[in-house]
Amino acid sequence: MPIPKPLLSGTLHDYGIGHLVDMPAPAEAVPTERQLMNLTLPPWQRPEVWSEAQNRRFVEGVFLGLGTGSYVVHASDWDDAGRPKPMSGWLLDGQQRISALRDFIAGDLVVFGDVRFTEMSVPDQLRFKRRPFPCHELEYTANEDALKELYDRLNFGGTPHTEAQRVLPSNPIQNEVSP
Protein backbone atom coordinates (compact mmCIF):
# COMPACT_ATOMS: atom_id res chain seq x y z
CA MET A 1 0.00 0.00 0.00
CA PRO A 2 1.44 3.41 -0.89
CA ILE A 3 2.02 6.01 1.80
CA PRO A 4 -0.80 8.59 1.75
CA LYS A 5 -0.28 12.22 0.79
CA PRO A 6 0.46 14.48 3.79
CA LEU A 7 -2.60 16.09 5.39
CA LEU A 8 -0.62 19.13 6.53
CA SER A 9 0.38 20.38 3.10
CA GLY A 10 0.57 23.99 2.12
CA THR A 11 2.86 26.81 3.17
CA LEU A 12 4.70 27.25 6.45
CA HIS A 13 4.84 30.94 7.36
CA ASP A 14 7.45 32.17 9.85
CA TYR A 15 5.16 34.67 11.55
CA GLY A 16 5.64 36.27 14.93
CA ILE A 17 2.99 36.59 17.63
CA GLY A 18 2.30 40.16 16.46
CA HIS A 19 0.99 38.86 13.13
CA LEU A 20 -2.15 37.71 14.96
CA VAL A 21 -2.75 41.27 16.15
CA ASP A 22 -1.79 43.01 12.91
CA MET A 23 -3.49 40.75 10.36
CA PRO A 24 -6.63 42.12 8.69
CA ALA A 25 -10.05 40.91 9.73
CA PRO A 26 -11.58 38.16 7.59
CA ALA A 27 -13.79 39.29 4.75
CA GLU A 28 -17.54 39.06 5.35
CA ALA A 29 -17.70 36.38 8.02
CA VAL A 30 -21.01 34.57 8.09
CA PRO A 31 -22.93 35.85 11.17
CA THR A 32 -22.98 32.38 12.74
CA GLU A 33 -19.20 32.00 12.48
CA ARG A 34 -17.17 32.36 15.65
CA GLN A 35 -14.15 34.63 15.53
CA LEU A 36 -10.88 34.54 17.47
CA MET A 37 -8.89 37.69 16.93
CA ASN A 38 -8.93 37.91 13.13
CA LEU A 39 -9.42 34.21 12.53
CA THR A 40 -12.61 32.21 11.91
CA LEU A 41 -13.34 29.04 13.86
CA PRO A 42 -15.05 26.04 12.26
CA PRO A 43 -18.56 25.39 13.59
CA TRP A 44 -17.50 21.95 14.88
CA GLN A 45 -14.49 23.17 16.87
CA ARG A 46 -14.87 23.08 20.65
CA PRO A 47 -15.05 26.34 22.60
CA GLU A 48 -12.17 27.73 24.65
CA VAL A 49 -11.46 25.27 27.46
CA TRP A 50 -8.11 26.23 28.96
CA SER A 51 -8.23 27.53 32.51
CA GLU A 52 -6.62 30.81 33.48
CA ALA A 53 -3.76 28.80 35.01
CA GLN A 54 -3.19 26.96 31.71
CA ASN A 55 -3.24 30.25 29.79
CA ARG A 56 -0.76 31.75 32.23
CA ARG A 57 1.61 28.75 32.04
CA PHE A 58 1.55 28.88 28.24
CA VAL A 59 2.38 32.61 28.09
CA GLU A 60 5.03 32.23 30.79
CA GLY A 61 6.50 29.38 28.73
CA VAL A 62 6.77 31.73 25.75
CA PHE A 63 8.80 34.14 27.89
CA LEU A 64 10.91 31.25 29.19
CA GLY A 65 11.86 30.23 25.65
CA LEU A 66 9.70 27.11 25.46
CA GLY A 67 8.16 28.23 22.18
CA THR A 68 4.61 28.54 20.97
CA GLY A 69 4.20 25.53 18.75
CA SER A 70 2.48 26.41 15.49
CA TYR A 71 -1.08 26.99 14.42
CA VAL A 72 -2.91 25.71 11.35
CA VAL A 73 -5.26 27.68 9.11
CA HIS A 74 -7.17 26.68 6.01
CA ALA A 75 -6.30 29.02 3.13
CA SER A 76 -8.76 31.63 1.99
CA ASP A 77 -10.15 31.53 -1.51
CA TRP A 78 -12.76 33.57 -3.34
CA ASP A 79 -15.45 32.89 -5.91
CA ASP A 80 -15.75 34.76 -9.22
CA ALA A 81 -17.80 37.53 -7.55
CA GLY A 82 -15.02 38.15 -5.00
CA ARG A 83 -16.86 36.57 -2.06
CA PRO A 84 -14.99 34.22 0.27
CA LYS A 85 -15.58 30.56 -0.49
CA PRO A 86 -16.97 28.35 2.30
CA MET A 87 -14.45 27.41 5.01
CA SER A 88 -11.99 30.12 3.93
CA GLY A 89 -9.47 31.02 6.60
CA TRP A 90 -10.69 28.57 9.24
CA LEU A 91 -8.39 28.10 12.24
CA LEU A 92 -7.95 24.34 12.55
CA ASP A 93 -5.38 24.16 15.33
CA GLY A 94 -4.11 26.62 17.92
CA GLN A 95 -7.31 28.08 19.38
CA GLN A 96 -6.34 27.63 23.04
CA ARG A 97 -2.84 29.07 22.59
CA ILE A 98 -4.09 32.02 20.52
CA SER A 99 -6.79 32.70 23.13
CA ALA A 100 -4.12 32.83 25.84
CA LEU A 101 -2.06 35.29 23.76
CA ARG A 102 -5.17 37.40 23.06
CA ASP A 103 -5.95 37.65 26.78
CA PHE A 104 -2.36 38.53 27.66
CA ILE A 105 -2.02 41.19 24.95
CA ALA A 106 -5.38 42.69 25.96
CA GLY A 107 -4.10 43.05 29.53
CA ASP A 108 -6.61 40.51 30.89
CA LEU A 109 -3.98 37.91 31.88
CA VAL A 110 -1.21 38.50 34.41
CA VAL A 111 1.92 36.33 34.26
CA PHE A 112 4.78 35.83 36.72
CA GLY A 113 2.61 37.32 39.46
CA ASP A 114 2.61 40.92 38.25
CA VAL A 115 3.49 41.18 34.55
CA ARG A 116 0.76 42.61 32.33
CA PHE A 117 1.40 43.20 28.62
CA THR A 118 -0.30 46.60 28.73
CA GLU A 119 2.10 47.73 31.49
CA MET A 120 5.27 46.48 29.78
CA SER A 121 7.57 48.99 28.10
CA VAL A 122 7.01 49.46 24.38
CA PRO A 123 10.35 47.77 23.52
CA ASP A 124 9.39 44.75 25.68
CA GLN A 125 5.96 44.61 24.01
CA LEU A 126 7.63 44.66 20.58
CA ARG A 127 10.07 41.94 21.61
CA PHE A 128 7.19 39.76 22.80
CA LYS A 129 5.21 40.32 19.59
CA ARG A 130 8.28 39.35 17.53
CA ARG A 131 8.57 35.94 19.17
CA PRO A 132 8.02 33.21 16.58
CA PHE A 133 4.58 31.67 16.14
CA PRO A 134 4.71 29.76 12.84
CA CYS A 135 1.56 29.17 10.83
CA HIS A 136 0.82 26.23 8.53
CA GLU A 137 -1.50 27.57 5.84
CA LEU A 138 -3.18 24.67 4.06
CA GLU A 139 -4.03 24.73 0.41
CA TYR A 140 -7.70 25.58 -0.07
CA THR A 141 -10.07 22.64 -0.37
CA ALA A 142 -13.84 22.47 -0.56
CA ASN A 143 -13.68 19.11 1.22
CA GLU A 144 -14.88 19.73 4.79
CA ASP A 145 -14.39 16.04 5.67
CA ALA A 146 -10.68 16.40 4.89
CA LEU A 147 -10.47 19.43 7.20
CA LYS A 148 -12.26 17.50 9.98
CA GLU A 149 -9.86 14.59 9.52
CA LEU A 150 -6.87 16.89 9.93
CA TYR A 151 -8.48 18.62 12.93
CA ASP A 152 -9.15 15.25 14.58
CA ARG A 153 -5.61 14.05 14.02
CA LEU A 154 -4.14 17.28 15.39
CA ASN A 155 -6.39 17.43 18.44
CA PHE A 156 -7.27 13.89 19.46
CA GLY A 157 -4.04 11.98 18.92
CA GLY A 158 -2.42 12.25 22.33
CA THR A 159 -3.15 10.60 25.64
CA PRO A 160 -3.38 13.08 28.50
CA HIS A 161 -1.03 12.44 31.40
CA THR A 162 -2.38 11.85 34.86
CA GLU A 163 -0.70 13.25 37.96
CA ALA A 164 0.12 9.67 39.02
CA GLN A 165 2.19 9.23 35.82
CA ARG A 166 4.44 12.18 36.67
CA VAL A 167 7.86 10.86 37.60
CA LEU A 168 9.70 13.36 39.73
CA PRO A 169 13.45 12.97 40.05
CA SER A 170 14.63 12.42 43.57
CA ASN A 171 16.19 15.45 45.21
CA PRO A 172 19.91 14.71 45.69
CA ILE A 173 20.13 17.28 48.48
CA GLN A 174 17.42 15.51 50.49
CA ASN A 175 19.09 12.16 49.85
CA GLU A 176 22.46 13.22 51.24
CA VAL A 177 23.24 11.91 54.68
CA SER A 178 24.94 14.36 57.03
CA PRO A 179 27.96 13.02 58.94
- 15, 65 contact by CB (below 8 A): no
pLDDT in tens, the chain (179 residues): 899 888 778 999 999 999 998 887 666 555 668 889 989 999 989 899 999 999 999 999 999 999 999 999 999 899 999 888 999 999 999 999 999 999 999 999 999 999 999 999 999 999 999 999 999 999 999 999 999 999 988 887 766 667 777 665 555 554 444 44
- 16, 132 contact by CB (below 8 A): yes
pLDDT of residue 168: 58
Residues 6+ apart with CB under 8 A from 7: 146, 149, 150, 153
pLDDT of residue 178: 46
Secondary structure of residue 24 in the 3-state scheme: coil
Q: How many CB atoms lie within 10 A of CB 100?
A: 25
d(CA 10, CA 14): 13
d(CA 39, CA 72): 11
